Copies of this chain bind each other. A is one copy, B any other.
């Protein structure tokens, strides 16, 4: 069923049918009703490619997911972010197109996507400190919104980010207030911008209280259960082990918890853990009492907001750049407690 057969069937011109379906005023209400009903019955939906070609709009948003070849891992946050963004697109009648790309072919892929014109805008995932994609997309004149920020870039661009600095500062201070001084940071990979911000905030909070940084208590790894477990296990074996951990994700925290158990220690008593919690659908942090004390910021919500911002930018390119920062809440769970008194005190 295409426009031609539909209009022939209705004994109307293609113009009239098109106008009727797209809500133009030059069509009588009676005709419009008739057309709409016929479209419904015959299950007519305009061919998206033809429509896109005619209008110059693809009604599609692109997401480029970096799939690193070295660490073969899809960010677990991805699904929830997509779900959020997708709901924003659906509400606006947009589709979502996903491309996977390994680090090497990034630039080529972005150029291709823009040249092929099958998206009207792009969400940039996982920005690094001086992410080259921002300059590239600006140059290519493609609307985009960054989920996160790129510290070392001072071009104007639109972004939406969690206040990672504030979250990690608060988390560190929360532990400091409980008397902890040996606080470990289990960070994500630090070429990622957010991980860098988190470390700086952690360092700032410590030095702000006159506590020297200790490289042994800081690590920067992929945020998996295993890495959390291994790093925490190693740290707990130090001569002067940490009494608290600050982790970058729930999954890492679960690994840390396992390390604590395996070391014969008790979570929330011998060792405290505070984590960042992306509030993922399949990894909720407890039911009544949160399992982990956490800085919580819903990544699904971030997806919705990012999607909405991009849609606005597409509608009105002069609206940008738009910045939005999401504050994380600090929620108190069962995984933190006062620093244990030194055994040899």
Please list the residues of chain A having a beta carbon within 8 angstroms of any beta carbon in chain B. 1, 43-50, 52-53, 58, 60, 65, 67, 72-76, 78-80, 82-83, 86-87, 90, 95-100, 111-112, 115-118, 222-226, 230, 251, 254, 257-258, 261, 280-284, 286-287, 291
Contacts and interface: CB of A to CB of B under 8 A. Distances in A.
B251 A282 contact: yes
A96 B99 contact: yes
A52 B44 CA distance: 19
Given A67-B83, A83-B74, A95-B99, A284 B226 contact: yes
B74 A76 contact: no
Sort A-B residue pairs by CB-CB distance and give the 7 closest, nearest first.
A45-B115, A73-B281, A48-B118, A74-B79, A86-B100, A48-B116, A49-B52
B261 A115 contact: no
B117 A47 contact: yes
A53 B49 contact: yes
Contacts of A281: 72-74, 224
Contacts of A45: 111-112, 115-116
15 contacts: A43-B115, A45-B111, A45-B115, A46-B116, A47-B116, A53-B53, A65-B83, A65-B86, A73-B281, A74-B80, A74-B282, A78-B79, A95-B99, A224-B282, A257-B258
Contacts of A230: 287
Contacts of A287: 226, 230
Nearest to A111: B43
